[in-house]
Structure 1
Amino acid sequence: MTPPRTSSPVLVGRGDELAALLGAVADQPAVALVEGEAGVGKSRLVRELLRRPEVTPLRVLTGFCQPLREPFPYGAVLDALRTVAGLLGRVPLSPVTGVLRPLLPEIADRLPDPPPRPEDPRHERHHLFRAVREVVAALGPVLLVVEDLHWADDGCRHLLRFLMADPPPDLTVLVTYRREDSPGGMPLGRAYRPPAGVTGVVVGLSPLDAAQVHDLAAAILDVDGVSAEFAARLHERTAGIPFVVEEVLRALRDPDWRLLDEVAVPALLRDAMAERLDRLTTTGRRIAQAAAVLGVPAEEELLAEVGAVEPDRARAALTHALRSGVLHEAADMRYGFRHILAQQAVYDTLTGPERQRLHLRASSALANVTPRPFIQLAEHSLKAGRHTEWLRNCEAAADRALEVGDPSTATRLYQRLLDEASPAPSDVDRLAVKLGLVARGGIDQHDPRATLERLLDDRRLSRSARGQVRMNLGFLLIRQFEGTVQARSHLEQAVTELADQPELAMRARAVLGQPFIGATPLHEHLGWMRVVDSYIESCENPEVRYSLLANELGSRLSIGDHSVVSELDRLPASSADVEIRRHLARANCNLADACALVGHFDLAHDFLDKGLRLTVGAGVPFTASTGQSTRIHLDWYSGNWGSLVARAGRLLDEYRELLPVASEISLVLGCLAVARGDWDEAERYLAESGVRSVENSITPVALGGFAPLARLWFERGDLTRACAEADLGLDLVRRKGVWAWTGELAPAAVDAYCAAGRLEDAVELVEELTAGVADRDAPLAHVALKVCRALVAMGRDDDAVFLLRDARRAADALGLAYYSATLSERIALCGLESGDASAVSALGEVADRFEALGAGRDAARCRHLVRGTGVAMPSRRGRRGYGNALSPREQDVARLLAQGRTNREIADVLFLSPRTVEQHVARVLRKLGVASRAELLA
């Protein structure tokens, strides 16, 4: 029998998966996701794909993500583009591609000069992403392959999501990954669905079954077949993982079937690699062992230095290791193992003293690399038994990660040091404070909460450091679901523990003074705020002053404090000091949020633009995330709903664990769902706005959630539940004492009370609101007061229409598109009741306004009212023909069909007859090219 091959000459058991990838390649633009555990054959499938003639016309660009990476955003994608210089030049490149020049020196001479750096930070990263897209588009038909995405940096994931969301027409993106090793189980950081017009395929690779292991073994051994007993035993020992099957069979120079019964799979794998190592020269083994210890592909010189191989003998030794199949060339003259399991197998052949010696050499060699790879140095120090060096390098790696804007890695490393390092008391103090500082400003998936809580009981921690840890834990908890009550307790205790550090204690007081946390009465917050305000007046430290102002100004503005506007000049435009710039970014984003709460929408946009610009390069992703949620809320108010559901959904996926961000986005999505008549979706989102746990809520967001809930039940005809939701919201307002936040709740409550016959409650609420906002700078609440007075007057006072029009003028002045449309509907209804001949056409125009916004339920209600008058309206068909595209009404029907609604339920939501719905359903199915509801749902 011939010696076994190093791998199967044919692809076994992956025919369907290969066909799916070929289909994606043939139908560009396309996105293909290949997932599976280590060794299951992802790379083998990709190699087979690249050999197929169907792929030949494509430019294949390949990037690899590596473990133990140093922070380098977009690394794998940029590596894939380094070799395309010879392909550029045929198509003029957009000026935006010039931003890639400093990142891709290999192709810099083919790129235009960099454009001016944009002032808006949202555009800076967008420019880079567009540049990559433009370069890829200029290459013609392209297959971009990124392997091992589970090791990718966040920037690389964001860039790939951008390409996948709107790929060039001639691009296929193919990524491989292990879901179990991906952050949060999602290789792209959040769920991905291909957009319309983009072919999408997910190929999941499972271990081979016994029959497939039989075929694989026969192909590798170059025989017609193996015994069923051998195949079954091989499948049992290898779990059907193709790589392990191959490695086991490689150990069989003479196929001795009894070997399978004598040695367990892990030992067999180690033995297989040991045998292949034995066939190498001494220097070849040293090179392979050095590669196993380094753990990432390395250049020849580094392998030689770690393996203690003379430079003049290293080339021959490396060549022997490559030809023997022990090592392979990864990319760019860097050499490593074909698979991490192979690397581990060689590593396991080393004795303890050998490993320690090699790790020491690796530390020495890497210490001379610029920039220093601190993460790798830390790992080698740890495994070499150099505890002090490990602590120093790991801390340096965390500091470096924070410097380059990677707080996730920094948090994980600080946390690891505290969990595993057994540091000295002075180290515990320093590391604990660092962890708290970075955790409170980041959005890390590796939640450090447990570590910080455990540190509070660590006797090595000094009182001062414990106060800082407790304060930072409070800052962390205050943005977590069900954490705000505990956060306040920690912050109050931290004030006591930080008595000898007044600057830090004031920061805790400033957060306790923020009024929008939970159900704590406003007068308690004001007590903290007065102490902080007094301290700011005498504070000479600019970093501390701006830190406190970042909370104080936003807090006071959010409750309608008139005096804040005159104090805004206390904030400079920017600062060269990165710490001050972080506080200024937070101050402006907080002010933007406060302005949005009370109705200063133009100011909100100005502050938000300024704040987000300041976040660029400042390493404050949490601040940036709150700014993005404020932007979403502002778009709701202004009626910029075109892509709002999609944008809000993406942000919610990304920031689902952050209470201030997720609750505000859930509120907006719930409001949009109410406007569309998607009741179940609305309830689901609004439940996450804080209405069911007001003690642990962002108070104005929770108040905002009670308003659409009251409207939802009002629209569904359940006035009892509508009033109950309004009662709960108003109870929170009365406990809190901030009437400036009732801009949406108060009108919804008055509407429900009037409809339910609770006129006295409605009148009492108007009186409370009048008193509550009398001296407050809260434009939105003042508009709400006008609306409430008009609603109470409707049907009872001839001035109702005058009051409604006055309220609408105020709403229009603030740019409240949806608010204005609802008031216009009320005005038209009053006109119908009084016999105004123009009211019917006015109501039809309001329906068009609702439809343009995307408020399908409201538009349908208005048209139903028009039909009820019996007055014929001009045909809408004359305005536009939709052909094979779905009309707005058909889009509403399609959306409800996709939710599994019956014709009767759709008719109730859209105010249509079942017969009309039946006709719409038939047109929707025909236009979408499906034969039935079941096929549409599938």
Structure 2
Amino acid sequence: MVEIVGRDGQIGVLEALLDRACDGHGAALVLRGEAGIGKSVLMEHAVRAGRKRGMRVLSVTGVQAEVQIPYAGLDHLLRPLRPGASDTGSPYRLALEVLELLGENDAPVLMAIEDAHWLDVSSWETLTFLCRRIEVDRIALIMAVRDGEDIDRRLAAAGLPELRLEPLGAADSRALLDRTAPGLPLALGARVLDEAAGNPLGIVELGAAAGREGGSALLPSALPLSTRVEQTFAGLVAELPPLTRDLLLIAALDDGGDLDEILAAAALATGADVSPDAIQPAVAARLVTVDERYEVRFRHPLLRSALRQQAGAGDRRRIHSALAEVLSHQPERRLWHRASAESGRNEALARELTEAAVGASERQAIAVALAAVSRAVQLSEDPAERGRRQVWACDLAASQGDAVTVRRLMAEIDESALRPADQARLTWIREASLGDSWSGSERLLAYADLIDTIRRDGQPDLAVKAITELALRVYYSSAPAVVRDRFVGVLFALGLDDDDPRLTVNLLQIAPVEHGATGLERLRRLVHRMDLPAGRRMELGVAAFAIGAFDLARDFALSSAADLRRQGQIGSLTKALSTAASAAAALGDTRGALPLAAECIALAAETGQPTWMLGGSLVAALAEARRGDVDAARRRADDAERVLVAARRFPMLALVQRVRGVAALADGRADDAFRQLMRVYDPADSAHFPNYELLMLGDLAEAAVRGGLLDELSPVVSRLVPLAAQSRSPALTVGLAYGRAVLTGDYAAALADDLADWPFDRARLQLTYGASLRRAHRITECRPLLRAAAATFDALGATPWADRARAELRATGETRRKPMDALATLTPQEQQIARLAAEGLSNREIGERLFLSPRTVSTHLYRIYPKVDVSSRAELARKVTSSDVV
């Protein structure tokens, strides 16, 4: 084995990673650095070291020509384990399938990925998602990437540990040169070292070239090192037979590495039979290898790029045309080569690419769709169709959060050629993706006008899509009546049927008071419609929360989450989890809310959804405040306030104020709680948010009665009575019942209402009523109320409220012991796993629900059992059941 110069520290890191993986502590690592810095050499060392440890090695090299083909890289990587292609669905579901596939054999696994920056997006997302889920698997995953802005963005989103390779020092550089090009004159060697600047590949290749050709090999010195090394490789290729050079160029332009495929394309390009022996001179020159599966691999990526850059346009098109013919049995790959071979405008081919882009978009392969529609733009003959495709490209880039690409694409559009609907759509995308403001009546009115323009131009589906995307923004913008009415008018003009769920989704978010009553009736009819797509049920959950139908919101969101998990739609799943957690927290169920919020935050972070990360954190804060962890709740509230104020999303400060108000209630500071919560109800306050007035009156009324501030509560209650009559908001109805009870003292009437779906609010009534009876010395009457309240609060995990109920009972002379909460010692994820295990799900089924490997689930259960003092699933189920609400 050749000794690697100057990389002892990095080798130690890699070998430690392999040792940990063999011991069942899987991990991933990214090798980063400029071209030629030594990533491939270290990767080869890791592969050899892995094999010495008995690891099964799976390897692949990213190829630039494959970046548009979903799962091309992953399929190459997994080819030794399975022959078929990957499903083109969700990378997140596929990541779990890969974990299961790797776990079928107990041998440790090393996944070695060279040039990961050239992996297609689907493979990248699958592998990086997998990287974050192998902590207890016998898997090591090493990716080598070249520096660049694109990979910076990818790695920032992936959040994987990195090992950066820096240039070699002077002593190591000299040692490497002496080993690879001995006998160079001192002055010439110094020039090589100066030009290479510590880059190992530069030292090796420029040193070898200098040994052959003298100082002329280092000219012109103004060129970048990578270009000069490419020229060195190109010089080596020039010495090969013409047919071998053709084969190498075909291999460089191919989006696969199959030798037979390359030979067949060469035969078509040259018009003669080509023997497999024709590749042998390149193998002998150590420019490529041909493995046991007859896959051609380049010695270094710079050789591939050198071949592509030096080939003339005519030669590249001729080879792409030959590859397209060879790949007639693979329509998707064939289309890309046909598109690359086309020399001019071709509207028919542009339409084919556009259709391919539609298919890719539907399966969430957005990067593939963007690449296809961008090439379709280049091939377009009709200016209006070209403009429509350019606008769609902007929309696709915006959906990825790539503002730089959006700006570049917009600058290329000839807006004078756009049809009216496309002009309207472009304006909407520009404002939505590049705007720096969240609210504003004029902007929202402009959006409504744009959507109406799209409708009148004959694109109703696009108009519905646009208004649905905007509805939640309207909800959280405290939009005045003129804006709400305009959006409602546009929505009705779309002519949706009364039973169309999209009508309900939009009406309840845009105008929850004005259309709450009819919307609520529709929600109750739709909640049992399991034929609705999971994404639509998620949207209905959001709408149900907007009107304060928390029980319906939770049902819609949880039912959709089950299907969204199975489908691997992580973006929509994050929203469903946020909605379910929000509903649980609003109902006072901290045990249900915290695990859902934790998963929401984790998935939002993994998929780059900062808005839903923030929302999940505020939900977690509300649940933490309810259970008495007020310091954690306040920290989250403070962090959220900084973000919201900076973005001028002032209505959302109502969520912050609710957390602070509930935390103050939990802390026993009722006066402070009332002041915090009243900010939401004060039109002069920056945190004023009319829509949230419907949702949190119960907390305000509790603060008022505990703080002796009923006179200030009374006008708020009076003002909200007509809103309740109009909207029929369940949350407002329940809140008003409690508010009236504390103002009039008639608690019996409020308790007579059906509050089966509102256990926290029922227990709050029981506690407040029981406390008033205790103060009136009506001991016999108050005790059953206080016992019931304490039991419910304990079951919900609302510890401060349960403690208050027990304190009131003690004042009557009755002692009620505080129950032991075994699950309180578990993390939110452990609580989730414990509950699923208690429901009878297997480790595999739990893993599918939570995007974890069965081995990871097993490890968590191994840690959970001693924490809750059980030794079996049956005992765990009894523990969990004893903590749940009956």
TM-score class, shorter: 0.7 to 0.9
Aligned to 1:644, which of 596, 600, 615?
Answer: 596
Residue 136 of structure 1: CA displacement?
1.8
1:791/1:432 CA distance change after superposition, 3 Å? farther
What is the CA distance between 1:139 and its match in structure 2? 0.7
For residue 640 of structure 2, what is the aligned residue in structure 1? 686
Q: String of CA shifts for 1:737-762, please: whole Å, max 9, x gaps.
A: 99674354323444555667654321
Q: Name which of 120, 143, 157 aligns with 2:109.
A: 143
The answer to whether the 8 A contact 1:29-1:167 is kept is yes
C-alpha distance in structure 1 between counterparts of 2:763 and 2:188, whole Å = 75
Say how many residue pairs are matched.
811
- Give the structure 2 partner of residue 110 of structure 1: none
Q: Residues of 1 paired with 2:355 and 2:490: CA distance?
A: 38
Partner of 2:444: 488
8 A contact 2:770–2:785 mirrored in 1: yes
- What amino acid is aligned across from residue 772 of structure 1 in structure 2? L
Alpha carbons of structure 1 residues 716 and 248: separation in structure 2 relative to 1, 3 Å: farther
Encode CA deviations 1:83-142: one digit per residue, 9 max, x unaligned.
Answer: 247xxxxxxxxxxxxxxx96579xxxxxxxxxxxxxxx9xx9887555433332221122
Q: CA deviation at 1:371?
A: 1.8
Q: Which of 34, 38, 43 is the matching residue for 2:30?
A: 34
Partner of residue 410, structure 1: 369
Q: Secondary structure at the residue paired with 1:251? A: helix
Alpha carbons 2:542, 2:553 under 8 Å: kept: yes
* Distance in 2, Cα, partners of 1:874 & 1:272: 81
Taking structure 1 as reference, are residues 748 and 316 closer, same or farther at Cα in structure 2, changes over 3 Å only? same
* TM superposition shift of 1:873: 7.5
CA distance in 2, matches of 1:509, 1:18: 51
Alignment partner, residue 249 of structure 1:
207
Asked if 1:425 is matched to 2:362, the reply is no
Bigger drift between 464-473 and 587-596 goes to: 464-473
Q: Does 1:283 align with 2:243?
A: yes
**Matched residue type, 1:31:** A
Higher normalized contact order (CA 8 Å, seq sep 6+, divided by chain length): 2
Structure 1 residues 751-803: Cα deviation after superposition (integer angstroms, max 9, x where no partner) = 5556676543211111122222024322122222233345557xxx5x56x57
**Aligned counterpart, 1:593:** 542
Structure 2 residue aligned with 1:240: 198
2:720 aligned to which of 765, 769, 793: 769
- Matched with 1:633 is 582
Distance in 2, matches of 1:145 and 1:743, equals 53
**Which whole-Å CA distance do the structure 1 matches of 2:56 and 2:806 have between them?**
54
SS in 1 for 2:331: coil
**Contact 1:36/1:205 (8 A) holds in 2:** yes
Residue identity over aligned pairs, in percent, reads 18
> Structure 2 stretches of 5 or more lacking a match?
831-866, 868-886
TM-score by length of 2: 0.74
Residues 681 and 689 in structure 2, CA contact (< 8 A), matched pair in contact too: no
| Partners of 1:381 and 1:387 within 8 A in 2 | no
Please state whether the residue corresponding to 2:712 is helix, strand or coil. helix
* Alignment check: 8 A CA contact 2:424 2:454 kept: yes
**Match of residue 485, structure 2, among 504, 507, 526:** 526
The CA deviation at 1:81 is 3.5
The 1:380–1:766 alpha-carbon spacing in structure 2 relative to 1, beyond 3 Å, is: same
1:663-695 deviations in Å (ceiling 9; x for gaps)? 53243133245442215532245327857767x
Written as runs of structure 1 = structure 2, the 5 A alignment for 1:122-137 is 129-137=95-103
Instruction: Provide TM-score, normalisation by structure 1.
Output: 0.71
Change in CA separation of 1:436 and 1:324 when aligned onto 2, cut-off 3 Å: closer
Report the counterpart of residue 417 of structure 2 in structure 1: 460
Whether the 8 Å CA contact 1:362–1:380 is kept in 2: the answer is yes
- After superposition, where does 1:185-584 map in structure 2 within 5 Å? 185-187=153-155, 189-191=157-159, 202-221=162-181, 234=192, 236-254=194-212, 263=221, 264=223, 265-266=225-226, 268-294=228-254, 297-302=257-262, 305=265, 308-309=269-270, 312-329=273-290, 332-350=293-311, 354-369=312-327, 370-373=330-333, 376-377=336-337, 380-381=340-341, 395=354, 397-411=356-370, 413-414=372-373, 424-432=382-390, 434-435=392-393, 442=399, 445=402, 449-450=406-407, 458-471=415-428, 482=438, 488-494=444-450, 497-498=453-454, 500-501=456-457, 504=460, 507=464, 516-522=475-481, 524-530=483-489, 532-533=491-492, 536=495, 551-552=506-507, 561-564=516-519
After superposition, the Cα gap between the structure-2 partners of 1:279 and 1:483, relative to the gap in structure 1 and judged at 3 Å, is farther
Look up the SS of the partner of 1:175 in the other structure: strand
Secondary structure (helix, strand or coil) at the match of 1:203 reads strand
**Which deviates more, 824-833 or 453-462?**
824-833
Query: Where does residue 172 of structure 1 map in the other structure?
Result: 139
One-letter amino acid of the counterpart of residue 529, structure 1: V
Matched residue type, 1:634: A
User: Closer, same or farther in 2 for the Cα pair 1:614/1:503, shift >3 Å?
Assistant: farther
Per mean C-alpha deviation after superposition, the further-off stretch among 586-595 and 506-515 is 506-515
Task: Report how far residue 334 of structure 1 moved.
Answer: 2.9
Root-mean-square deviation over aligned CA pairs: 5.4
**Most deviating of 51-60 and 154-163:** 154-163
CA distance in structure 2 between the partners assigned to 1:342 and 1:57 by the alignment: 32
Is the deviation greater in 857-866 or in 759-768? 857-866
**Partner letter of residue 541 of structure 2?**
A
- Does structure 2 retain, via aligned residues, the 8 Å contact 1:298–1:336? no
Q: Deviations over 1:676-718 (max 9, x none)?
A: 2215532245327857767x57x6x654443113334666798
Q: Quick check: 488-497 or 822-831, which moved more?
A: 822-831
Q: CA deviation at 1:628?
A: 4.3
Distance 2:191 2:763 in 1: 72
SS in 2 for 1:761: helix
Q: Deviations over 1:427-466 (max 9, x none)?
A: 33431454467578x5555676536865887222233431
